[in-house]
């Protein structure tokens, strides 16, 4: 507004009007500004009926300022006034509201200095109603002398409202009308700026509802939506007006606390948020209980920029979820992980939706017949930046953060889907999947497996579960119970990485297993190390004495293959036979190889 440099000075000839008070100088007959008489008349009627408001004012006469000499129809309509009420009035006629008197004064100053002026203001109509006005007033000169002012007025209420609406839509979540991720980020950065200058704290709380997916699955999305709206209202209600609650999508919410007194105050706010969700929700006569987990990162303790705080709050949230702790601050233990891992946790959460995980298959061969008995399913992550990741670089992290559960579900589902496809295509492949210790502890594992088997119509004997010796030893009683249950369901069970977990012989005898896999660390070097060879031989005999099959993993050369055959080992798996491959190349391998498929 009022930026002189940006405002063009108009040198206009004013048309003759019927209004006798408007004295129009003769049109100078130079350049584009010159008009003939008929053109002037045309211009005059154009001005009268123009869509925007136009006013012509006399030059400022000392203290009184310019006065209205002419207004067009548009002007009268805009203000709800008749022409007679307007003619002869000073600049107050523009109706700039009282609260914008500084703009009015700026306009006066420009006018007294004979400068053009332009501004967006709020103006009042005759009836007192307000509208948004774009106002221009420009001096008209003739031979260097100021003769009149012309003012152009445009009602911009609609377009302004539209911009406000568009901005609102871009920055808010449609369902709950809470700020969205983008606005949260803006607010967080603003809060950090204030905290920096005023040397206060600022806190970011990330919240994820527990069991929301179940609600959605059981009652439907509409139901879930209603619930989310109620959650939004409760969260909003218990925060200070200066704090922000945002919905980040799904069942994830975030809160920014500005200038909390200390860590206690932050913990209290987290506690209150959890408490407010504690009271049951009622959606369509259904009573629902919804828990939540909150991760907290505080400026400046846990980070000084928005991105870091978001990442750390996210990690803390998973820690809270895993520990069933309600809320959890970002802590030293999490801090000690490399930044690489921190961001990996965040990325891993979206990896499944983005379909970045992929299953690889590696055959297990029957040593005597050379037939493939089964394929082990090995997970890979096609990371968009880091490339193909092996499980060692993300499974342990997934275990610590609880993400392993959904990964296991995914692996199970996709594996059986793949089996279905192969079986339908005439290749009755048996598969083995790896179950991590965390998933083994999950009470619902057997029912999940059953559901997946039913879904893809796969006979349980096609599926083997590989459980590491050490995860069994972590809680032998529980492992025994789960393994027995799985076996009774008709599944095959294998003890993985055998030889590394110090299980006692008694334990081994009791465990319901079909197979023992000798850890590759013994197999890889067995032709060069008498000790390893002795261990492998002992393990083979031991397994046979207990009536179980033995599989040697890590067979990297033919000599090892031959040696294992001589020692009566049952099965072999390793790079020499085939590296793990994605489904299609794996099928191709099976098709091309001289080794066949055991049916």
Structure tokens at 513: 């297993």
Q: Judged by CB under 5 A, does residue 469 bind Ca ion?
A: no
If one asks whether residue 520 binds ligand C2E (CB under 6 A), the answer comes out as: yes
- Give me the residue whose beta carbon is nearest to Ca ion: 466
State the nearest-atom distance from the C-beta of 519 to Ca ion, in Å. Answer: 6
Contact 462, 490 (CB under 8 A): no
Quote the strand ranges of 369-468, DSSP E: 372-383, 387-389, 431-435, 463-468
**Residue 367's binding partner, choosing from ligand C2E, Ca ion, none, with beta-carbon cut-off 5 to 8 A by kind?**
none
Per CB under 6 A, 364 contacts ligand C2E: no
Tokens of 558: 């033919």
How many residues sit in the footprint of ligand C2E (CB under 6 A)?
A: 23
291 versus 446: smaller Cβ distance to ligand C2E: 446
- Residue 357 C-beta: closest distance to ligand C2E, Å: 9
By the rule CB under 6 A, 465 interacts with ligand C2E: no
* Cβ atoms of residues 4 and 10 within 8 Å: no
Is residue 65 part of the contact set for ligand C2E (CB under 6 A)?
no
> Tokens for 426?
């005439």
Q: Which stretch binds ligand C2E (CB under 6 A): 212-220, 453-461, 535-543, 550-558?
A: 550-558
Report the Cα 543 to chain-centroid distance in Å: 49
Q: Residue written as tokens 């992980």?
A: 337
The answer to whether residue 569 forms part of the interface with ligand C2E (CB under 6 A) is: no
Give the nearest distance from C-beta 491 to Ca ion in angstroms.
15
Q: Does 467 bind ligand C2E (CB under 6 A)?
A: no
From candidates 24, 248, 270, 555, binder to ligand C2E by CB under 6 A: 555
Residue 211 neighbours by CB distance under 10 Å: 15
| Contact partner at residue 574 from Ca ion, ligand C2E, none, CB < 5 to 8 Å by partner kind | ligand C2E
CA gap 518, 560 in Å, rounded: 13
Shortest distance (Å) from residue 520 CB to ligand C2E: 5
CA angle 515, 462, 487 (to 5 degrees): 55
One residue of 173, 399, 469, 497 binding Ca ion per CB under 5 A:
497
Write down the least CB distance from residue 571 to Ca ion, Å. 12
Distance separating alpha carbons of residues 383 and 350, to the nearest angstrom? 11
Q: Which of 466, 469, 515, 532 binds Ca ion (CB under 5 A)?
A: 466
When binding is defined by CB under 6 A, the residue of 347, 442, 475, 556 that contacts ligand C2E is: 556
580 binds, among ligand C2E, Ca ion, none (CB under 5 to 8 A by kind): ligand C2E
Cα distance between residue 274 and residue 500, in whole Å? 43
Q: Residue 206's closest CA among 188, 226, 225, 229?
A: 188
- Strand ranges (E), 411-563: 431-435, 463-468, 492-498, 515-518, 549-553
CA distances from 530 to 89, 126, 569 (A): 111, 104, 17
If one asks whether residue 515 binds Ca ion (CB under 5 A), the answer comes out as: no
The pair of three-digit structure tokens given for residue 168, joined into one six-digit string:
């609102």
Report yes or no: 403 and 318 within 8 Å, Cβ to Cβ: yes
Phi/psi of residue 256, nearest 5 degrees: -115, 125
User: Which of 245/433 has CB closer to ligand C2E?
Assistant: 433
Q: How far is the CB of 555 from Ca ion (least distance, A)?
A: 12
Binding at 556: pick from ligand C2E, Ca ion, none (beta carbon under 5-8 Å per type): ligand C2E
Bridge partners (DSSP) of residue 383 are 387
Residues 552 and 533 sit within 8 Å (Cβ to Cβ) = no
Please say which residue, 91 or 435, places its beta carbon nearer to ligand C2E. 435
Per partner kind, with CB cut-offs from 5 to 8 A, the member of ligand C2E, Ca ion, none near residue 258 is none
Per CB under 5 A, the list member of 434, 471, 549, 560 interacting with Ca ion is 434
Query: Of 243, 251, 496, 515, which one interacts with Ca ion (CB under 5 A)?
Result: 496
CB 383 within 8 A of CB 354: no
Binders in 491-510 for ligand C2E, by CB under 6 A = 496-497
Of the candidate residues 379, 445, 453, 511, the single one contacting ligand C2E (CB under 6 A): 379
Distance CA 127, CA 12 (A): 33
Residue (of 251, 269, 105, 246) closest to 179 by Cα position: 246
How far, in Å, CA of 406 to CA of 391, rounded? 15
Q: Which does 575 bind (CB under 5 to 8 A by kind): ligand C2E, Ca ion, none?
A: ligand C2E
**Which residue, among 562, 579, 522, 516, has the nearest Cα to 543 in the 3D structure?**
516
Please report whether residue 391 would count as binding ligand C2E according to CB under 6 A: yes
Q: Which is nearer to ligand C2E, 246 or 411 (CB)?
A: 411
User: How far is it, in rounded angstroms, from Cα 422 to Cα 438?
Assistant: 30
- Give SS3 for 204: strand
Return left, alpha or beta for 553; rule: phi > 0 is left, psi -120 to 50 is alpha, else beta: beta
CA distance 40 to 44: 6
In this chain, which of 10, 219, 281, 575 binds ligand C2E, going by CB under 6 A?
575
Specify the 3-state DSSP secondary structure of 441: coil
Q: Pick between residue 373 and residue 434 the one whose CB is nearest to Ca ion.
A: 434
CB of 319 to ligand C2E, least distance (A): 20
Nearer to ligand C2E, 315 or 379 (CB): 379
Query: Which of these ranges, 11-19, 149-157, 461-469, 529-537, lies near Ca ion under the rule CB under 5 A?
Result: 461-469
Question: Is 25 within 8 Å of 154 (Cβ atoms)?
Answer: no
- Of the pair 89, 503, the CB lying nearest ligand C2E is at 503
**494 lines the binding site for Ca ion (CB under 5 A):** no
| Binding status of residue 581 toward ligand C2E by CB under 6 A | no
Question: Can you give the binding site for Ca ion, defined by CB under 5 A?
Answer: 434, 466, 496-497
Question: Can you give the binding site for ligand C2E, defined by CB under 6 A?
Answer: 362, 378-379, 390-392, 395, 411, 434-436, 466, 496-497, 520, 553-556, 573-575, 580
């Amino acid at each position: 507004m009022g930026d002189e440099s940006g405002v063009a000075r108009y040198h206009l000839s004013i048309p003759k009007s019927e209004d006798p008070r408007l004295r129009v100088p003769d049109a100078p007959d130079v350049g584009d500004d010159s008009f003939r008489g008929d053109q002037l008349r045309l211009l005059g009627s154009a001005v009268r009926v123009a869509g925007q408001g136009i006013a012509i004012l006399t030059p400022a006469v000392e203290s009184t300022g310019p006065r209205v000499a002419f207004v067009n129809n548009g002007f009268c309509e805009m203000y709800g006034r008749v022409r007679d009420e307007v003619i002869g009035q000073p600049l107050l006629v523009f109706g700039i509201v009282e609260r914008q008197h500084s703009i009015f004064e700026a306009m006066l100053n420009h006018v007294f200095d004979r400068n053009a002026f332009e501004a967006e203001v709020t103006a009042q109509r005759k009836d007192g109603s307000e509208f948004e006005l774009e106002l221009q007033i420009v001096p008209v000169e003739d031979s260097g002398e100021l003769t009149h002012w012309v003012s152009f007025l445009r009602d911009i209420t609609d377009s302004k409202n539209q911009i406000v609406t568009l901005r609102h839509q871009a920055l808010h979540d449609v369902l709950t009308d809470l700020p969205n991720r983008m606005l949260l980020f803006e607010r967080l950065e603003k809060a950090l700026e204030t905290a920096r200058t005023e040397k206060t704290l600022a806190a970011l709380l990330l919240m994820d509802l527990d069991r929301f997916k179940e609600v959605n699955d059981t009652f439907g999305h509409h139901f879930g939506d209603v619930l989310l709206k109620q959650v939004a209202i409760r969260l909003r209600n218990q925060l200070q007006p200066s704090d922000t609650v945002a919905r980040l999508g799904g069942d994830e919410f975030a809160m920014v606390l500005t200038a909390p007194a200390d860590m206690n105050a932050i913990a209290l706010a987290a506690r209150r948020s959890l408490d407010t969700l504690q009271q049951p929700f009622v959606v369509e006569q259904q009573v629902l209980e919804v828990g939540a987990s909150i991760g907290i990162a505080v400026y400046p303790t846990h980070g000084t920029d928005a991105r870091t705080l978001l990442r750390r709050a996210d990690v803390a949230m998973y820690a809270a979820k895993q520990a069933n702790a309600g809320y959890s601050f970002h802590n030293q233990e999490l801090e000690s992980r490399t930044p690489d891992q921190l961001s990996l946790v965040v990325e891993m959460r979206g990896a499944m939706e983005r379909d970045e995980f992929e299953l690889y298959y590696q055959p297990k061969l029957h040593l005597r017949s050379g037939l493939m008995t089964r394929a082990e399913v090995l997970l890979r992550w096609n990371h968009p930046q880091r490339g193909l990741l092996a499980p060692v670089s993300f499974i342990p992290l997934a275990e610590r953060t609880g993400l392993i559960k959904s990964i296991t579900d995914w692996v199970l589902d996709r594996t059986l889907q793949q089996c279905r496809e192969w079986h339908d295509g005439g290749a009755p492949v048996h598969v083995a999947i790896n179950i991590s210790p965390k998933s083994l502890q999950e009470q619902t594992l057997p029912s999940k497996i059953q559901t997946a088997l039913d879904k893809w119509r796969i006979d349980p004997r096609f599926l083997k579960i590989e459980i590491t010796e050490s995860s069994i030893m972590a809680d032998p009683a529980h492992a025994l119970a789960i393994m027995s249950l799985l076996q009774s369901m008709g599944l095959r069970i294998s003890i993985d990485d055998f030889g590394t977990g110090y299980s006692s012989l008694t334990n081994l005898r009791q465990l319901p297993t079909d197979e023992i896999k000798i850890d590759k660390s013994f197999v890889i070097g067995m032709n060069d190390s008498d000790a390893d060879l002795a261990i492998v031989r002992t393990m083979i005999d031991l397994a046979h004495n207990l009536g179980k099959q033995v599989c040697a993993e890590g067979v990297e050369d033919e000599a090892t293959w031959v040696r294992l055959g001589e020692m009566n080992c049952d099965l072999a798996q390793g790079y020499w036979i085939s590296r793990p491959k994605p489904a299609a190349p794996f099928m191709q391998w099976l098709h091309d190889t001289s080794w066949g498929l055991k049916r």
